[in-house]
Structures are given as structure tokens and as C-alpha cells.
């Protein structure tokens, strides 16, 4: 069995992403889905290093970016939990993510006052 994930990125004149579309062969969606941001990471076992692609469009608002990071960190913690069952570390990761979002929201309140 094989699944294919396709990501299409359109760039503006300055080579900044202005549109991100994606689809997956296992998805129930019948057309490309729009995204404002994406994070993609691969593990290189030989070099023992992460290879990352982080992209976002100009449409991505700062508050959306904070939510995106919070949800990504929480998802990474859940994945780490399923893979390792190291619950104390998972709890630390989730506590950090919650504190990150709390501090972000406090910063936004200050800036808007």
C-alpha cells in the first residue's frame, strides 16, 4: 500500500509563498486544500539531523501562527507519548506549549491596550 501527499506552493515576485495547497491520496477531500502555513520535517538517520521546511503565506496572522505552533507542539507531545510512553516528558512538553500560548496572549493584550 502507498499514500502520496502533494504540496503545491505558489510564490510572489519576491519568492515569498502566497498560496499553499495540499492533497493526499488517503484524504476524503476530492480537491486540493488551502493552507496558510505548513511545517514538514524529515529525520535523516545517517546524519542524525532533522530536515525541515517551514512555510507560511502573508495571509497568516500572528495570532494564527501562535495557535498553529501551540497545536503543533501539543500534537508533537501526543506523538512522542505514543512512541515512547515517557509521560513525565510529555507532561513537560504540554506544560511548555500551554505556557507559550498563555505568554503570547498576554503579549497581545499588552500590545492592544
Asked if 42 and 80 sit in the same domain, the reply is: no
The answer on 86 and 35 residing in a single domain is: no
Q: Mark whether 71 and 105 lie in a shared domain.
A: yes
53 shares its domain with 66: no
Q: Let me know whether 48 and 73 are in one domain.
A: no
Provide the pLDDT confidence category of residue 29 given band limits of 50, 70 and 90. Answer: confident
Residue 112 pLDDT > 90: no
Checking 68-73 for CB contacts under 8 A at 24+ apart, the result is: 68/37, 69/100, 70/97, 70/98, 70/100, 70/101, 70/104, 72/39, 73/97, 73/100
Average pLDDT, integer, range 59-66: 97
Give helix 62-84 / helix 87-111 axis angle, nearest 10°: 170
**pLDDT of residue 30 exceeding 90:** no
Residues in the chain: 113
Q: How many domains does the chain have?
A: 2
Examine the domain organization and report whether 78 and 30 are in the same domain: no
- Structure letter (DSSP) for residue 28: S
Same domain for 43 and 28 = yes
Domain of 54?
Answer: 1-58
Q: What is the mean predicted confidence (pLDDT) over 1-24?
A: 96
In whole angstroms, what is the distance from residue 88 CA to residue 21 CA? 37
Q: Model confidence at 113, in pLDDT bands (50, 70, 90)?
A: confident
Amino acid at each position: 500500500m502507498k499514500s502520496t501527499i502533494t504540496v503545491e506552493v505558489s510564490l510572489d515576485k519576491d519568492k515569498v509563498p502566497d498560496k499553499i495547497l495540499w492533497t493526499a491520496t488517503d484524504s476524503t477531500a476530492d480537491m486540493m486544500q488551502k493552507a496558510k502555513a505548513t511545517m514538514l520535517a524529515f529525520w535523516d538517520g545517517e546524519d542524525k539531523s532533522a530536515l525541515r521546511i517551514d512555510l507560511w503565506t502573508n495571509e497568516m496572522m500572528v495570532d494564527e501562527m501562535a495557535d498553529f505552533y501551540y497545536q503543533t507542539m501539543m500534537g508533537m507531545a501526543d506523538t512522542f507519548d505514543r512512541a515512547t510512553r515517557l509521560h513525565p516528558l510529555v507532561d513537560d512538553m504540554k506544560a511548555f506549549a500551554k505556557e507559550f500560548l498563555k505568554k503570547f496572549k498576554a503579549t497581545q493584550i499588552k500590545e492592544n491596550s
